[in-house]
Amino acid sequence: MTEKKDIMTRFDKKLQELRRDLPIVKGDENCAELTLTSVLDVLGVDNYIFHNLAMPLAGGFGGYKSKEGWMGACGAVVGACAAIGVIMGGKTKMDNETMEMAYLKAAKYANEFEREFSSIVCSQLCGYDFSQPEGFLEYKKSKAWETTCYKFVIWAVDTVRKLTKEDLERKWM
């Protein structure tokens, strides 16, 4: 029981730290990276490779915009889905059954995010189109991170914990 409480206590501490620190822009972190690596930190797994992996996924897959106008998901959605995969896989590569369950949890997460915030699309959430450099500059100038975007990361980390509670207890303690 102590171990189960311990991982939930680590999540509580991480969420408290995020609430305190995230509204302050450092400039070298982003929503995808912070969502994934915050969960990894709780799990005791950290390596600069994970930070590097997640960074280009922020801003809607780095500001991706298709020819038809489709734009990428918020980094807190992408980072959370990656975190769900890490949690569900545990310390070994996922088998097919676990992979299917991870798909379902990731879809459930995205649905809950959309229900909470009305969209999963980065540009719709923050109000800026990162497919052009001007959009990113306007975003930085507006201080949207300090007023809006950091909240997605906090919600994401907490929701990942809730959705994967059984997997956390079974595979990470």
Q: According to the model, what pLDDT value does residue 22 have?
A: 93
* 71 bridge partner residues: 65
Give CA–CA dist 72/109, Å, rounded.
Answer: 16
The residue count for the chain: 173
The pLDDT of residue 173: 83
Grouped pLDDT means (10 residues each) for the chain, 173 residues: 76 97 83 97 94 94 93 97 97 96 98 98 95 92 92 98 96 89
What angle (nearest 5°) sits at the alpha carbon of residue 165, between those of residues 163 and 3?
Answer: 160
Supply φ then ψ for residue 121, to 5 degrees. -80, 125
Distance of CA 78 to the CA centre of its chain: 6
**Which pLDDT does position 26 carry in this prediction?**
73
Using CA atoms, how far apart are residues 133 and 127, in angstroms rounded to an integer? 14
Domain ranges of the chain: 29-171
